[in-house]
Amino acid sequence: MKALITSTEATRLINENLPAVATVHCPLNKCAGRILREAIHADRPFPPFNRSMMDGYAIRASEIDAEGIFKITIQAPAGSPAQLIGPAPRSCAEIMTGAVVPEDADCVVPYEETKRIDEHTMQLLNPNTHQANDCIHGFASDRPAGQQILALGTPIGSREIAVAATCGNTELAVAKIPSIAIISTGDELVNIDSTPAAHQIRRSNDIMVETALVRSHLYSQEKAHLPDNYEACKAALQTLLSKNEILLLSGGVSMGKKDYIPDALDELGLTNHFHGIAQKPGKPMGFWTNQKCSVFTLPGNPLSTLTCLHQYVIPAIFNAMGQQTIEATRSVNIDQDISARDDFTIFLPVSIHEHNTATPQPVNNSGDLVHILKSDGYIVVPPIQTKSYSVGSEFDFHPWH
């Protein structure tokens, strides 16, 4: 490994050297989880008319008197053109939610605040409680025509899809999902459906990575497994580099005699931006690039793989996809004293409780896959000279999902 760099420096180097993802046009119903590559503007005022917010009666507020009796002159269902209630005093429209409020009415009174006297007459139960603009969603009160509603770089979810549809967009310019290959390494690993020998374990890191990507609306193009053989590793990597934009490798990147990945990537002509971060877990992580492909080398222990994936890889991919609207990092307070280091950042698994408190859930080591189940995510514990933080200290929290 090279000289260790800080976690902050690793993030900077990744974001500076991971190429921007291309733009594609995608049907609206396929845009969930994508990053918007165009601004969306209101194609007309929102709402485009004075809209009734309740089922009830549209009246003129100025005509309310102590009796509160009104004559029903028209029906105003949702989807019907604008109408008038007419000039006769104390006229009203029976109106439905979402319908156009008649231009000569300025107040909607819900059914439950009225009494029906006969087929053509209703009475307000509490006349003095109603006033102009009640229960009316005013014309252009949300957005005037032409105003931006969704900004470039917005992550697209159900709300954004609804807004784009309302503005008449059948497709959107979005960031392409990069082609990703997930690669495990090591002769000790066997397939999930195999019965491992005493010296072997079933392969799980690759499907763990794949699942975390899917939950972020990122998808792998292929999976591969590399043996502990230098020439075989190099040949397989050369093929994978030619077919993908991002390689996510788990294992084979530390200082063991059969950790061939770093040397193979160097020999294949990739640029190494760093190899080794002052952090625990995940110290051997590295990052290589060439003109076509970016390679994240994650340490092989499960907690190291999972933490580095969430701390660096997934955020970096979304940064390359142009994400601008980023959720604020959640802060939590620890409910007990914790140990720290003066030279390393520590990613500490925690469980989250009410009142935004976090209980440390330490594992036996970074290979302890089972104990990760007790945690909801991890906190970032910065280096500190005193090598400890007291109960109540605040940290950034990152969930596993």
Give the number of other CB atoms < 10 A from CB of residue 190: 15
Hey, what CATH class is 26-46+142-175 in? alpha beta
Beta-carbon contacts of residue 355 (< 8 Å; ≥ 6 apart):
none
Q: What would the pLDDT profile of 246-260 be if each residue is shown by its tens digit?
A: 999 998 787 767 689
- Contact (CB, 8 A) for 345 and 381: yes
Q: What would the pLDDT profile of 151-192 be if each residue is shown by its tens digit?
A: 999 999 999 999 999 999 999 999 999 999 999 887 676 677
Give the number of other CB atoms < 10 A from CB of residue 50: 22
Helix, coil or strand: residue 117 = strand
* Predicted confidence (pLDDT) at residue 41 exceeds the cutoff of 80: yes
Give domain 330-399's CATH number out of 3.30.420.40, 1.10.3720.10, 1.20.120.330, 2.40.340.10. Answer: 2.40.340.10
Q: In the chain, where does the domain assigned CATH 2.40.340.10 lie?
A: 330-399
What pLDDT sits at residue 327?
A: 66
Give the number of other CB atoms < 10 A from CB of residue 160: 20
Q: What value does the mean pLDDT take over residues 193-198?
A: 79
| Confidence band for 369, pLDDT divided at 50, 70 and 90 | confident
Q: In the chain, where does the domain assigned CATH 3.90.105.10 lie?
A: 26-46+142-175
How does the average pLDDT of the chain come out, rounded?
93
Distance in angstroms (rounded) separating the CA atoms of residues 171 and 176 = 14
DSSP 155: B
More confident residue, 261 or 365: 261
Q: What value does the mean pLDDT take over residues 297-306?
A: 92
What CATH code is assigned to 7-21+177-320?
Answer: 3.40.980.10
What pLDDT sits at residue 199?
A: 80
What pLDDT sits at residue 105?
A: 98
Of 40-44, 163-167, 188-192, 205-209, least confident by mean pLDDT is 188-192
Q: What value does the mean pLDDT take over residues 356-381?
A: 89
Model-level pTM greater than 0.75? yes
Q: In the chain, where does the domain assigned CATH 2.170.190.11 lie?
A: 51-137
* Predicted confidence (pLDDT) at residue 37 exceeds the cutoff of 70: yes
Give domain 51-137's CATH number out of 3.40.190.290, 3.30.1280.10, 2.170.190.11, 3.40.50.10950. Answer: 2.170.190.11
| Confidence band for 325, pLDDT divided at 50, 70 and 90 | low
Q: What value does the mean pLDDT take over residues 37-54?
A: 97
Distance in angstroms (rounded) separating the CA atoms of residues 223 and 183 = 6
* Predicted confidence (pLDDT) at residue 1 exceeds the cutoff of 80: no
Q: What value does the mean pLDDT take over residues 77-97?
A: 97
Q: What would the pLDDT profile of 102-155 be if each residue is shown by its tens digit?
A: 999 999 999 999 999 999 999 999 999 999 999 999 999 999 999 999 999 999
Distance in angstroms (rounded) separating the CA atoms of residues 139 and 100 = 10
Residue carrying the six token digits 């997934």: 314
What pLDDT sits at residue 194?
A: 76
